[in-house]
Amino acid sequence: MKMKQAGQKIVVLTSYDASFTRVIEAAGVDVILVGDSLGMVVQGQESTLPVRVEDMVYHTQNVARARRRCLLVADMPFMSYSSVEQALSTAGCLMKEGGAHMVKLEGGATQLKTVEQLADHGIPVCAHLGLLPQSVHKLGGYRVQGRDQESAAVMKEDALSLQNVGAQMLVLECVPTGLAAEISALLDIPVIGIGAGVDCDGQVLVIYDMLGISGEEYLPRFVKNFMPTADSIQGAVANYVEAVRTGHFPGDEQSFS
> What architecture is domain 2-254?
Alpha-Beta Barrel (3.20)
Burial of 222 (0-12, 13-18, 19+ CB in 10 A): buried
Nearest CA-CA partner of 41 in 91, 75, 10: 75
The helix/strand count (H/E) of the chain reads as 11, 8
Task: Identify the pLDDT of residue 214.
Answer: 86
> Residue range 143-147: average pLDDT?
92
Distance CA 78, CA 38 (A): 13
Burial of 9 (0-12, 13-18, 19+ CB in 10 A): buried
Do the Cβ atoms of 100 and 73 come closer than 8 Å?
yes
> Could you report the per-residue pLDDT of 153-210, keeping only the tens digit for each?
999 999 999 999 999 999 999 999 999 999 999 999 999 999 999 999 999 999 999 9
> Could you report the per-residue pLDDT of 58-115, keeping only the tens digit for each?
999 999 999 999 999 999 999 999 999 999 999 999 999 999 999 999 999 999 999 9
Task: Identify the pLDDT of residue 216.
Answer: 66
Distance CA 59, CA 247 (A): 30
Asked if 173 is an active-site residue, the reply is yes
Task: Identify the pLDDT of residue 138.
Answer: 66
> Could you report the per-residue pLDDT of 201-251, keeping only the tens digit for each?
999 999 999 999 987 666 889 999 999 999 999 999 999 999 999 999 999
Please pick, among 173, 182, 216, 242, the residue that the annotation labels catalytic: 173
Indicate if the pLDDT at residue 141 is higher than 80: no
Do the Cβ atoms of 95 and 102 come closer than 8 Å?
no
How many angstroms separate the Cα of 166 from the Cα of each of 80, 195, 245?
Answer: 20, 25, 27
Distance CA 30, CA 143 (A): 28
Distance CA 171, CA 69 (A): 21
Rounded to a whole number, what is the distance in angstroms from the first to the last CA of the chain?
A: 27
